[in-house]
Amino acid sequence: MDDGSGDSLAGTLHHPAVPAAARPLVVLIHGLAGSEDSPYIRAAAGAVLARGHAVLRLNLRGAGPFVGRTRQRYHAGRTQDARAVLAHLATTLPDLAAAGVVVVGYSLAGNMVLKLMGEVGALPPMVRGGVAVSAPIDLSATSRRFLKARNRPYHLWLLRQMKAETLATPAEPGTAEAERQAAVRRARTIYDFDDGYVAPANGWRDAEDYYRVNSALQFLPAITRPTLVIHALDDPWIAPEPYLAFDWAAHPALVPLIVTKGGHVGFHAARREQGAILGGEWLDRCLVRFLETLA
């Protein structure tokens, strides 16, 4: 779909082999440097399709097949793209959207989904619930945690991926975009990338301003529709303190599933169970059970 900006948003829609009545459409959104083909997206799609849900594997703006083909790029708070996709579904596939939609975000998109669910007055009525997995709900704290020595290999790999995605769209010499891309080339950390590219490209003063405006933590209290929040306290890249300090009990629409172990978008079952989904993936079983409460 074209959202009017000249860019396109794309995904892959799957219909279940045996549709189940009144099952909401599930929209799966990948994390930073991922796409609709990320392994966790494919695994979740298989799990929910097997339970009779239609599934949309959505690419964020400028990701997947559209790397190098958009003028703007995704970031942790770009909820307007999700709303545009939902509006498009309601218009073009009204029968499919009639049972409602559940939006599921992983990592960076988990922050986006929580922000979407908490944006008072902007959440489309078709959204019946949300799921966030390993979401960096405090973006500033996450950026600082990436600087720890133990995270250096992944930090550098992720930064290389981010640079490659961004620089795949050549900028006209002498333009503001060319200056921002020069900052991308100089960046030595994700903070540098956010400070030199993401913030100025989207109208924020600097990285801290971008983090302040878009961190999901401030949107959690406004969420009124069922929202599952899955996170592991041993996540190497996301600080546990924001999750531990938040008063979950005061907000009944939120369903926190905070566990001690699981890593970042990991949560593999310790053993295979009889009839377990996709060979025992705990994360996907939790997602399916949450969907069952909405069906």
Query: Annotated active-site positions, please?
Result: 107, 235, 264
Kindly state the helix (H) or strand (E) to which residue 257 belongs, with its residue range.
strand 254-259
| Nearby residues of 8 by Cβ (< 8 Å), 6 or more positions away | 1, 2, 66, 69, 70
Tell me the one-letter amino acid at 202.
N
DSSP 151-198: GHHHHHHHHHHHHHHHHTSPPPTTSHHHHHHHHHHH--SHHHHIIIII
Q: What is the token pair recorded at 291? A: 């969907």
Strand partners, 26: 55, 102
DSSP-assigned letter for residue 148: S
In the 8-state DSSP scheme, what is residue 268?
Answer: B
